[in-house]
Amino acid sequence: MNEATLILIKPDGLKKSLTGNILTRLSETKLEIMAAKIVKVDKGLATEHYKHLKDKPFFNELIDYICGEKHNRKKVMALVYWGENATTKCRQLAGATNPEEAEPTSIRGSYGRITTSGLYENVIHVSSNKDEAEREIKLWFTPAEVIVDLYPVKESTVNSCTHVVWA
């Protein structure tokens, strides 16, 4: 079944100059890129993105990590990949969450690390399933930034300006 998934190249991936390498690995999947941009991540976006982890002991450090505070790189590359089993294919290439447990040839196994404080700096985010992908793509991208209509949209008028937003 065709589906979309959100990929983030995290600040450590950008700092380690892995962008080209990661995109090359992802191109092996033959999935289509439907959106791409560089994002300056603020605490609000980070907290919403990782809200399922808000009770974890590593949550605050995770927020600092994705905001780029730990790498002095306040940017993330966000992409939407689309095609057959997109999430499964991309998660397989990414490898396990814990870089020590990830397949050595996977992206996380090759380039991730565990910090001395215990945070998994694992270079790349991939949505965990179809529903999470929809939630995350709607959080990171506006409809106009995605070249196909992945999800229903509606018009919203604010101060006489009409925008297309996710329905």
Catalogue the active-site residues: 125
Sheet holding 76-84, edge to edge: 32-39, 76-84, 2-9, 124-126
> Residue 18 touches which of Mg ion, ligand IDP, none (CB < 5 to 8 A by kind)?
none
Work out whether 140 is an interface residue with ligand IDP (CB under 6 A). no
Work out whether 128 is an interface residue with Mg ion (CB under 5 A). yes
Q: Least distance (Å) from ligand IDP to the CB of residue 125?
A: 5
Work out whether 46 is an interface residue with ligand IDP (CB under 6 A). no
58 vs 166, beta carbon nearer ligand IDP: 58
Work out whether 125 is an interface residue with ligand IDP (CB under 6 A). yes
| Stretch in the footprint of ligand IDP (CB under 6 A) among 13-21, 68-76, 112-120, 151-159 | 112-120
